[in-house]
Structure 1
Amino acid sequence: MSELIAALPMYDWPEMRGEVDAQWTSLRDAFRRKDIDAPQSIVRRNGDLPIVSGGIWDDEGNLISPDPATLPPDELDSHKLWLHPALLFAQACWGPMELGLSRHVQVVGQPSYDAYEGGQGELYSSALVMRAGEGPEVRSPADGKALLPLDLIRDRRFTFNSLDSMSGIIALTRDLEAAGENLDIFSSSGESGGHRDSIVAVAEGRADIAAIDCESWTLAQRFEPAARKVVIVGWTARRKGLPYITARTTPEKTVHSMREALAGLAEQPRIQRVG
């Protein structure tokens, strides 16, 4: 039994569990063909993470994460997962990566977003959604540049999934700044806890606008009834999508083999090799 762990938490909606498990099965088998000791299944709970007695420390002697055994067992703290020394493979986000996670992990590859409106290769964008009838619906720009309806969104209530989310707030912040604006364009801003929660908040009138990454928006159209009550009124610019990462301590040979395995799966719709 493998002592390593893997997770695909970023789009692991309850309705998607079967598809996410199938995605891992494909990745796992490709890794095993490269003699990588990939785990049989992905983890979805803090309680599934191996114990790290005394917590997780960096090379400079700083405690960067507590022992997973001290965390609520039936929840999943993605930030603690990403820092686990047994991490073989997981999805992350470039927001946390830019805020310091990149010092503690290695990037293995990038998924492809060709299957989603607003995506192109390893690049994705976020749909700006508002309640139906409050603004004209727009398609993703072919050139991948930001499309911000500044007059429409001014003085509206903005909701976002988390402060460190590239797709939910950081990308929009940067696009607003490029247009000579900032988050003060909104009358208020508040954290929802997740992209799906943001869509529901807008649909129910608790917020007026949210930025939803293009893959989450596609999932919402499949599984979230509230998505039928909102429309896309703008788009952020395309940026690099979610990276696949591994622990900083994963051997270089293993990282190289994983990249070769991803390259071998490149014709499948979600996976590209990095670099």
Structure 2
Amino acid sequence: MLREGDLIGQWQSPSLLISQTCGYLATHELRSHVTPVAVPHCAAPGCDGPNYASAILVPADHPGLDLADFRGSRAAYSRAYSHAGYNAFRSIVAPLADGQAFFASVLASDSHVASIAAIASGRADIATVDCVVHAFVARWQPAMLTGTRILGYTPTAPAPPYVAPINADAVTIRRLQTALTAAMADDTLAECRDALFLAGFSAPIAGQYDVILDRAATAIASGYPVLR
């Protein structure tokens, strides 16, 4: 069932069966509430098997050729608990910032789509956007990308996991994984999988999402705890 409203509360609910959340939330705020049960493999630019990246989006007419050229520009991010929209962004800026403010201003847009709109409308000069979200927009709302271009991609990280409550038993997790495997093999769902850029799933590996923790810790240790 598609639900709206307080997503954090829904992910923390003991009645949750299965959902998908950001890898940053799964390793931080929700780490004592959910457990990964499957890692999606997406067929979108910037994805590689169970891993995905953020598209570094900039104005089409900006002359910058790499990230260093955007020092002193205006940044936008989706939410501070987003890996693709914030943590990945912070991790690539930190080595250039030397513990100082790198941008002239930073805008909290509230979503990846809103970050795209901020670049397209001229309210921001650079943002990192989940590459799968960017692919959705390119397919279904391509006009939204007018006036933008991809500067490059951030290093990859494990894709946002499908999660169950932290206390889900092994039988429940196996049943969920079996259901997902069946959905990937069901010919009648091929159109749905294509619409979602879904190419497959894999079971999570212990420590698989530690790279997200490591990138956050490295940025903080370098004196760049917040995007600025």
Change (3 A) 1:182 1:228: farther
Out of 100, 116, 129, which is 1:199 matched to?
A: 116
Q: Distance in 2 between matches of 1:197 and 1:93?
A: 17
Q: Distance in 2 between matches of 1:264 and 1:134?
A: 46
- DSSP-derived class of the 1:88 partner: coil
Which residue is 1:43 aligned to?
2
Change (3 A) 1:182 1:204: farther
Matched, 1:126 2:54: yes
What are the superposed Cα offsets for residues 79-98 of structure 1, whole Å, 9 maximum, x if unpaired?
11101111111010011122
Q: Distance in 2 between matches of 1:215 and 1:152?
A: 25
Out of 37, 56, 73, which is 1:108 matched to?
A: 37
Which residue is 1:93 aligned to?
22
Change (3 A) 1:168 1:86: same
Which residue is 1:219 aligned to?
136
Change (3 A) 1:153 1:182: farther
Out of 34, 45, 49, which is 1:117 matched to?
A: 45
- How many Å apart are 1:166 and its aligned residue? 0.1
- DSSP-derived class of the 2:19 partner: strand
Matched, 1:82 2:11: yes
* AA at the equivalent of 1:102: R
Which residue is 2:176 aligned to?
258
What are the superposed Cα offsets for residues 115-170 of structure 1, whole Å, 9 maximum, x if unpaired?
11100111000111111121478xxxxxxxxxxx1332111100011011000010
- How many Å apart are 1:223 and its aligned residue? 3.2
Out of 50, 64, 79, which is 1:162 matched to?
A: 79
- How many Å apart are 1:183 and its aligned residue? 7.5
Change (3 A) 1:151 1:43: closer
What are the superposed Cα offsets for residues 235-270 of structure 1, whole Å, 9 maximum, x if unpaired?
110111100001123332111221233344556634
RMSD (CA atoms): 2.1
Which residue is 2:207 aligned to?
none
Out of 160, 166, 179, which is 1:248 matched to?
A: 166
Q: Distance in 2 between matches of 1:271 and 1:183?
A: 41
Task: Tell me the number of residue pairs that the alignment of Structure 1 and Structure 2 aligns.
Answer: 192
- DSSP-derived class of the 1:87 partner: coil
TM-score by length of 2: 0.77
TM-score by length of 1: 0.64
Q: Distance in 2 between matches of 1:235 and 1:183?
A: 23
1:61-80 residue pairs with structure 2 within 5 A? 76-80=5-9
Q: Distance in 2 between matches of 1:226 and 1:253?
A: 44
- DSSP-derived class of the 2:151 partner: strand
- DSSP-derived class of the 1:103 partner: coil
Which residue is 2:91 aligned to?
174
* Structure 1: 5+ residue stretches without partners: 1-41, 46-75, 138-148
* AA at the equivalent of 1:129: L
Structure 1 or 2, whichever has the larger Rg, is: 1
Q: Distance in 2 between matches of 1:270 and 1:178?
A: 34
- DSSP-derived class of the 2:107 partner: strand
Q: Distance in 1 between matches of 2:99 and 2:27?
A: 20
- How many Å apart are 1:102 and its aligned residue? 1.6
- How many Å apart are 1:181 and its aligned residue? 4.7
* AA at the equivalent of 2:39: Q
**Which one has more relative contact order, counting CA pairs under 8 Å at least 6 apart?**
2
